[in-house]
């Protein structure tokens, strides 16, 4: 049995074919240009590499309610030209295979969950944040992705401002100083006029960002009580997580018990940004079983 994965990002689509053990057998990267061009190249890839089902993890917002007339659409995205794009409908017409449609962070969360179960870690819940050009979060609880009337939008929660950051308005076009507006990659340019990769960890801005990310981790800790919280994306790194763990411990102040922070606030287990691909394979395989 072969299954497919589409990790649909604002910069590129990563399309892959995998086997029953979620191992990549073939993979291609397609630049994200216009919907017509990008989706055609995606469909053409799977026509050359036929699969039994496909899992799609897409940038959003997206419509996941199957009773909605807009199910399978990318909706109010800030990505130019991609608003109201019928993603799943196009693929169904071109490929005629079952498709599981979710967010990019949900795909990564599910991939990390599946990998944990395969490695006998025996967890039943986790939260996955990606901190990069944007910020998003997905959660798996008792083996199920969270979301009913829509998918979680954890990147747009509001936070208490750092005392040294009160004048920064944030970069989110919808909310200004939500989590995404305060910690995403573009905030380095907005604050310092240089990209994050050029900012040393000794710079005070990293302490500002870690304070905000620690607040987000505190929120989901108290709301969901997951087994662990994973941080991916270009802004995340082990050095940054050391600062986040420090701030998280201060904010939690021993209120509830959590695992050791080295295990609780972690980087992804799956290497090379492969979490969403594994998650998509697993969701496609689950479609076929059901």
Query: Mean of the pLDDT values across residues 240-246?
Result: 98
Is residue 20's pLDDT more than 80?
A: yes
Query: Mean of the pLDDT values across residues 250-263?
Result: 96
Query: Mean of the pLDDT values across residues 195-222?
Result: 96
Is residue 77's pLDDT more than 90?
A: no
Domain 3-103+272-289 shares a fold with domain 120-266: yes
Is residue 174's pLDDT more than 90?
A: no
Q: Report how far residue 169's alpha carbon sits from residue 178's, in angstroms, rounded to the nearest whole number.
A: 10
Whole-number pLDDT of residue 207: 98
CA torsion angle 213 147 32 81 (round to 10): -100
Lowest mean pLDDT among 115-129, 202-216, 242-256: 115-129
What six digits make up the tokens of 214?
């620690």
Domain spans, the chain? 3-103+272-289, 120-266
Whole-number pLDDT of residue 200: 95
φ/ψ (deg, to 5) at 144: -115, 140
Q: Does domain 120-266 have CATH number 3.40.50.300?
A: no
Q: What is the CB neighbour count within 10 angstroms for residue 251?
A: 16
Is residue 260's pLDDT more than 80?
A: yes
Cβ neighbours for 207, distance < 8 A, ≥ 6 positions apart:
162, 243, 247
Cβ neighbours for 113, distance < 8 A, ≥ 6 positions apart:
123, 126, 140, 143, 279
| Tally of CA atoms within 13 A in the half-sphere of 188 that contains its CB | 20
What six digits make up the tokens of 271?
């290497």
Average pLDDT, the chain: 93
Whole-number pLDDT of residue 148: 63
Can you count the helices (H) and strands (E) in the chain?
9, 12
Q: What is the CB neighbour count within 10 angstroms for residue 217?
A: 26
Q: Report how far residue 231's alpha carbon sits from residue 36's, in angstroms, rounded to the nearest whole number.
A: 32
**Angle (CA) 242 189 245, round 5°:** 10
Q: Tell me the pLDDT tens digit for each residue of 222-235.
A: 999 999 999 999 89
In CATH terms, 3-103+272-289 corresponds, of 3.30.830.10, 3.30.420.40, 3.40.50.720, 1.10.3720.10, to 3.30.420.40
Cβ neighbours for 31, distance < 8 A, ≥ 6 positions apart:
11, 12, 13, 38
């Amino acid at each position: 049995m072969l299954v497919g994965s589409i990790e649909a990002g604002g910069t590129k689509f990563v399309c892959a074919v995998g086997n029953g053990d979620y191992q990549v057998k073939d993979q291609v990267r397609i630049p994200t240009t216009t919907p017509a061009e990008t989706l055609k190249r995606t469909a053409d890839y799977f026509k050359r590499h036929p699969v039994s089902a496909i899992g799609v993890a897409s940038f959003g917002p997206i419509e996941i309610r199957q009773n909605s007339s807009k199910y399978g659409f990318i909706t109010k995205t800030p990505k130019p030209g991609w608003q109201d794009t019928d993603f799943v409908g196009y693929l169904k017409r071109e490929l005629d295979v079952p498709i599981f449609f979710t967010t990019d962070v949900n795909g990564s969360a599910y991939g990390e969950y599946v990998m944990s179960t395969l490695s006998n870690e025996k967890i039943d819940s986790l939260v996955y944040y990606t901190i990069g050009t944007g910020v998003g979060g997905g959660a798996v609880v008792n083996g199920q992705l969270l979301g009913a009337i829509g998918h979680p939008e954890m990147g747009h929660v509001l936070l208490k401002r750092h005392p040294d950051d009160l004048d920064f308005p944030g970069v989110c076009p919808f909310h200004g100083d939500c989590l995404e507006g305060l910690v995403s990659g573009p905030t380095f340019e907005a604050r310092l006029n240089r990209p994050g990769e050029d900012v040393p960890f000794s710079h005070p801005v990293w302490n500002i960002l870690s304070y905000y990310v620690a607040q987000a981790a505190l929120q989901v800790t108290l709301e969901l009580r997951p087994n662990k919280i994973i941080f991916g994306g270009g802004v995340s790194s082990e050095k940054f997580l050391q600062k986040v763990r420090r701030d998280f411990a201060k904010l939690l102040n021993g209120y509830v018990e959590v695992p050791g922070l080295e295990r609780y606030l972690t980087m992804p287990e799956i290497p090379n940004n492969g979490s969403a691909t594994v998650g998509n394979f697993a969701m496609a395989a689950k479609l076929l079983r059901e």
